[in-house]
Amino acid sequence: MKFAGVKLNELVSLLTVPFLISGIKSINKYLVYFLILFLSFLFITICLNLNTTFYLNLEGLSPLKLPYLISVSRFIELLACLSFALMIYKTINYYSNRGIEVSYTLRKVLNANFYISAIFLLVFLLTYLNILSLQNSSIVYDTTSYDPNNPTPRLRGFYVEGGPLGLFYAALYILTFFIKGRKWLLRASFLLVLLCSQSKAGIVAVLAWHFYLFYQNFKSAKWFRYVVLTALLPIFYLVFTMVIANYIHAVQNFSGIVAERQNDTNFVMGRIAAVFITPNMVMENPIFGVGLGNYALVRNNPDYLGILPPSKGWDAPGLGVFATLLVENGIYGLTLFILILYFMYRRYSRTSVVSGEAIKVFVLICLLGVQLHFLYIWFFIGLALAAPNDEIDS
């Protein structure tokens, strides 16, 4: 949710930045490593901008999205993410030191999100029954607005569209596996939101998680390798390709489709366009990338576009954290980020099942389209750093 263009959750997190800075000596060292890395992103970007050509003829370009300012904005958002991870880290430690299990704390978080999901589902139902209007709704929108006689509601829950909402609820669904006791109602509500959002990334996240759990449970069995090779992998591949069939078709027939859909923003912007634009960016800027937050400001460069038309609006690649790091911060940024995650995993997974699994979930969600400055993925970093000894309920 936003107020005057500012995300409320980021605003709340930014209020803790003085706490982050004043207590820098007592903060977990991995958060300090992330902070140093993000500071280097900003410094390198400022240097790169001196020789960068920007394309600013974009509709609705706000002052905060201008060169330099967008990089500072992104850095502040990343600072909010670190503050949020710090809050989670401190909170879990605080309650754990008082004998309260991590499972109990996480259930409180999931219960709060359950009530929000109930509101979303109620609004979606009332909209589907034509009791509430689709127009100007921040929770539900019409995916077939071009056909007023056949509206198709899709849940988005204050996001731009349904994909990010579904991925967020997939993360909540996975988080239910970190708690003890009954959780079928939580899982059912989160899955319903995911289905109503029609999020391909969210569905893939849930499928990948269950495939991982199956692997963990049976990897020591002698027969498992044969089951995986003969049944599970083909089934997962089939379902996965069915979910992303539209993307596969668009990429395979790209040159033929682009001439017909010059004015279709869903095609000339976002993930499909990024699949063709980002390799060109990486080849020209392999070491340090195009700069923090600069993708939308340089993507209209003819050297990057190829046969694609220029974008008229603000565009995000939508390819996920690691692809965006490679494009905007180069091999330098991607390598150091992965190294921090690797050493964090090696440090904490030995003594904490929860920590090891939390880092795996973070990586999974990052692979499926979420952006690094999305606050909720840093919940798993804070959880991992708290290094709880609680075993995940089998």
Q: What percent of the chain has pLDDT over 70?
A: 85
CB atoms within 10 A of CB 109: 17
- pTM higher than 0.85 for the full model? yes
Q: Considering only CA atoms, which of 189, 235, 192, 185 is closest in space to residue 210?
A: 235
Q: Considering only CA atoms, which of 313, 300, 268 is closest in space to residue 61?
A: 313
Q: What is the pLDDT of residues 233-248, one digit of tens each?
A: 777 677 666 666 666 6
Phi-psi region of 182 (alpha: psi -120 to 50; beta: other; left: phi over 0): beta
Q: What is the mean pLDDT of residues 84-105?
A: 90
Q: What is the pLDDT of residues 297-347, one digit of tens each?
A: 999 999 998 888 888 888 888 889 999 999 999 999 999 999 999 999 999
